Amino acid sequence: MIQIKCNIKDVEIREPQKFSDERGWLCEFFRQDEIKDGKYPVMSYLSMTKPGVARGPHEHRFQTDYICFFGLSKFKMYLWDNRPESETYGDFFSFETEENAVVKIIIPPGVVHAYKNIGEVEGIIFNAPDRLYAGVNREEAVDEIRYEEKSDIKFKIDD
């Protein structure tokens, strides 16, 4: 059982319960009865990240991400609390996932996040955010502040 305690307020890291039988397994990525503040996912997607590649750092002003790493590869996750009103403002936290483990993480608005595939194979990530990307019919501004291209930022990931 994965036990990761994050020092950043409102960030949750869990190992979803895995139900296994002779056919394989099933994990519940999100459940309405586990979600605080009524911020339920409104869309979902899968993405693939190649070995050695990082995504982020970036943050959302309003969106909560419900990310799940599948155990195909290893990932390193990076989190920075960038919410001035938070009791953990300025705190940094990182952790690594293991191969063959499933880890879900709930990332609230204002927490800068990035991840890097530190494994040897392609890694799959599931995300079910509580806001539509670019709004209804993709007619709104994207709720994302990207830091990847900025060289003078404090949100740096390992190379």
Residue 21 DSSP SS3: strand
Question: What's the Cα-to-Cα distance from 154 to each of 75, 84, 121, 148, rounded to whole Å?
Answer: 21, 15, 29, 11
Q: What is the pLDDT of residues 75-129, one digit of tens each?
A: 999 999 999 999 999 999 999 998 878 899 999 999 999 999 999 999 999 999 9
Range from 28-37, 93-102, 142-151 carrying the lowest mean pLDDT: 28-37
- Measure the CA–CA gap between 50 and 53, rounded to whole angstroms: 6
- In the numeric block, which tokens belong to residue 24? 């394989």
Contacts of residue 28, Cβ cutoff 8 Å, sequence gap at least 6: 16, 17
Q: What is the pLDDT of residues 41-72, one digit of tens each?
A: 889 999 999 999 999 999 999 999 999 998 78
pTM of the model: 0.88
> Which segments of the chain are extended strands (E)?
12-14, 18-21, 24-27, 45-49, 54-59, 65-69, 75-81, 92-96, 103-107, 111-117, 123-127, 145-146
**Cβ of 116: how many Cβ atoms within 10 Å?**
23
Q: Average pLDDT in the 33-44 region?
A: 82
**CATH numbers and ranges of domains, the chain:** 12-146 (2.60.120.10)
With cut-offs at 50, 70 and 90, classify the pLDDT of residue 2.
low
pLDDT at 1: 54
pLDDT at 3: 66
Q: Average pLDDT in the 7-18 region?
A: 85
